Structure 1
Amino acid sequence: MTTRLGTWTPIALLRCAHPTLGLVTAVGLAGAAALSGRSSVAVGMVLATAVVGQAVLGWHNDLVDRARDASHARTDKPLVRGDLDPSTVWFWLAVAVMLVVPLAVFHGVWAGVAYLGSLLVGILGNLVLRGSWLSWLPWATSFALYPAFLAYGGWAGQGRETPPELTVTVLAALLGVCVHVLVALPGLVADNQDGRRHLPLRIALRIGAPRLLWATVVVTVLMLGGLLAEGARVGLTQ
């Protein structure tokens, strides 16, 4: 029963969209919007925008990695299992892009530019730098743009015109690097076999994956605590 349900196209599309990372990111942005004083409907719009945007990144990632995932027999991937045809994913990716653009701009022009910029950086990150020691850069850049999205955004574009706090932006960028490491950890063996030498793998080869995991968890908690503390102290905007 579970297998049949998992092969149903809507469920397979959900699995292909990296739902765990996408939901955590979307809920995190919505939570930050709520803490900044947004109304419930405005928070809902942030959540909707982020959910669609994260689906774009997840689908694009699996499409780019399709051949590589197949070479490593990644049977957890719907595209590898044959549960989804690539053309189906490309279609829904195009639909999501057409949807996320007006959703992002709804929050305001500058907020929309910041969020769409984070998606563009994420897509470029799927294509380049992933195997090099600069693999952390797209993640740091994308997460650094999230405070700008929230700081400039507002219901129907009625947001503030002040830039985000520098300390919040830096902490968000560092959090992005931590997320990159956590996401990369399960695939370190395959990445090593493929000759990739991204930052998490370089560190893991020196100190070991278990130590890297615990160190990253600690730093992630510190970054989240720092963001909450700075947000409470100075807010999102300057």
Structure 2
Amino acid sequence: MGPRPAGREGMIVAVRPSGARPAVALLRAAHAGPTLAVTTMTAALALAGDLAPGRASLVTAAVLAGQLSIGWSNDLVDLDRDRCVRRSDKPLATGELSLGVTRLACGAAVATTVVLSLACGWGAGLLHLALVIAGWSYNLGLKSTPFSWAPYAVAFGGLPVFVILAGPGLGMPAAWVPLAAGMLGVGAHLVNALPDLADDEATGVRGLPHRLGARWTPRVAVAILVAASAVITAGTRSVSGAVSLTALTLVAALAVAALVGRGRAPFRAAVAIALVDVALLVASR
């Protein structure tokens, strides 16, 4: 993980608990936004893939448990770093959430992930566990390397494959499906890292976004997300030409906004392109 730099005053900063409710703090520590986004995407893919409601719920619950474990492990691994830069949005670092509660929640999420994943079938279950391991590998060290994008590519690319394998025996998806999903994951990684580039670099994290820098990261993210849009529209036959054309026009407009915008505009435009890509991917199922 690299050397741990000193905090702003040469030491780890202790922060008083703010008195927030533990359940709310625990949810925030699980990275609620990304967790909800991936879980919602899974549910949409499952329903679009004609999984029975019970099966779709099982698949979605397995992914939710895995995402919770990844989110909590991230904050556990980064605790000292988050304290160094005084991350007020990290309940574990501020003291709103205890270390013991977080470890217990993370352990329970891991156990639940194993049980629910294998309940989806051995093939699908083992694949999903491999995707969760990819997420953990990011937390445990890959985030600080030029290959920080790889866990996202593997996890997002494998997600639609997991959903299909857990379904009623429809076979493997076309190659463009995991390719486009993997590209979406890499774009999401770059976009997600943007707000924290300075804090990450201050604590020794040097992943791909940090090596690209604040100027090039949104541009590369937009390029990858636009390419994902093109792959999806070229590969699918279930989305009408009018819808595809409208989506690509919107993506092009957002790409221009991202490239010429200032401040938070490139970040917001890249997120919007990612949302369009997710909608196209779900519609293609």
Identify the TM-score tier after normalising by the shorter chain.
0.7 to 0.9
In the TM superposition, what is the alpha-carbon distance from 1:160 to its structure 2 partner? 1.7
Is 1:6–1:12's contact at 8 Å kept on the other side of the alignment? no
Structure 1, gaps ≥5 residues long? none
Q: Rg larger in 1 or in 2?
A: 2
Structure 2, gaps ≥5 residues long? 1-16, 240-280
After the TM superposition, list the runs of 4 or more consecutive aligned residues in structure 1 that deviate by more than 6 angstroms: none
TM-score by length of 2: 0.71
Alpha carbons of structure 1 residues 5 and 46: separation in structure 2 relative to 1, 3 Å: farther
In the TM superposition, what is the alpha-carbon distance from 1:6 to its structure 2 partner? 7.1
In the TM superposition, what is the alpha-carbon distance from 1:27 to its structure 2 partner? 0.5
The residue number in structure 2 matching 1:202 is 211
Alpha carbons of structure 1 residues 146 and 16: separation in structure 2 relative to 1, 3 Å: same
The residue number in structure 2 matching 1:18 is 31
Q: Please tell me the root mean square deviation across aligned C-alpha atoms, in Å.
A: 2.6
TM-score by length of 1: 0.85
Is 2:201–2:210's contact at 8 Å kept on the other side of the alignment? yes
What is the identity, as a one-letter code, of the residue corresponding to 2:55?
A
In the TM superposition, what is the alpha-carbon distance from 1:103 to its structure 2 partner? 1.0
The residue number in structure 1 matching 2:275 is none
1:86 aligns with 2:95: no
Structure 1 CA distance for aligned equivalents of residues 234 and 179 of structure 2: 14
1:146 aligns with 2:159: yes
The residue number in structure 2 matching 1:36 is 49
Matched residues, number: 225
2:115 corresponds to which of 102, 105, 119: 102
Structure 2 CA distance for aligned equivalents of residues 228 and 113 of structure 1: 30
In the TM superposition, what is the alpha-carbon distance from 1:200 to its structure 2 partner? 1.0
Secondary structure of the corresponding residue to residue 71 of structure 2? helix
In the TM superposition, what is the alpha-carbon distance from 1:219 to its structure 2 partner? 3.9
Alpha carbons of structure 1 residues 136 and 144: separation in structure 2 relative to 1, 3 Å: same
219-228 or 170-179: bigger deviation: 219-228
In the TM superposition, what is the alpha-carbon distance from 1:39 to its structure 2 partner? 2.3
| Residues 28-81 of structure 1, C-alpha deviations (whole Å, 9 max, x = no match) | 011011111122232222222221111110000000000000000001111111
| Larger helix percent | 1
Structure 2 CA distance for aligned equivalents of residues 68 and 57 of structure 1: 17
1:132 corresponds to which of 125, 145, 166: 145
What is the identity, as a one-letter code, of the residue corresponding to 1:212?
T
What is the identity, as a one-letter code, of the residue corresponding to 2:181?
A
